[in-house]
Amino acid sequence: MKYATITTVMLCIAIVPPVYCFASDPCEVVLCMYGKATGNSGGSECHSAEKTFFNIVKKNKHGFLPGHTLNARKAFLGECASADPEAVNKILSRFGRLRG
């Protein structure tokens, strides 16, 4: 009985994909957020990329940490090797410290 329960739990864990599999591509986020920073809208195609960017929020028991959030968002955008550093800086200056 115990062996069957453990086996079932392990099988369920193996079948469920990790949450990070659903995250947007950093290059897609750079493209969509740069468009948003320059006043354009990517439409419904950019909804998940914008959501991914704004879900990067760092907090502690006292609340929102703007500096840590900015660093986390910068690190995420930096994962796109083809991103123009000027575009990344524009995105971060416009949206980097907003609360998620």
pLDDT tens for 28-42 read 999 999 998 888 877
Give the angle 32-77-70 at the CA atoms, nearest 5°. Answer: 105
Q: Indicate whether 10 belongs to any domain.
A: no
Number of structural domains the chain divides into: 1
- Its domain, for residue 50, covers 22-95
Q: Indicate whether 60 belongs to any domain.
A: yes
Q: Indicate whether 3 belongs to any domain.
A: no
Sign of the alpha-carbon torsion through 79, 40, 87, 100 = negative
Q: Indicate whether 89 belongs to any domain.
A: yes
What residues does 63 pair with on adjacent strands? 60
Phi, psi for residue 63 in degrees, rounded to 5: 130, -155
Q: Indicate whether 59 belongs to any domain.
A: yes
Residue at 92: amino acid letter:
L
Q: What is the pLDDT of residue 70?
A: 92
Q: Indicate whether 1 belongs to any domain.
A: no
- Looking at residues 9-21, what average pLDDT do you find? 52
pLDDT tens digit sequence for 45-87: 888 999 999 999 999 999 999 999 999 999 999 999 999 999 9
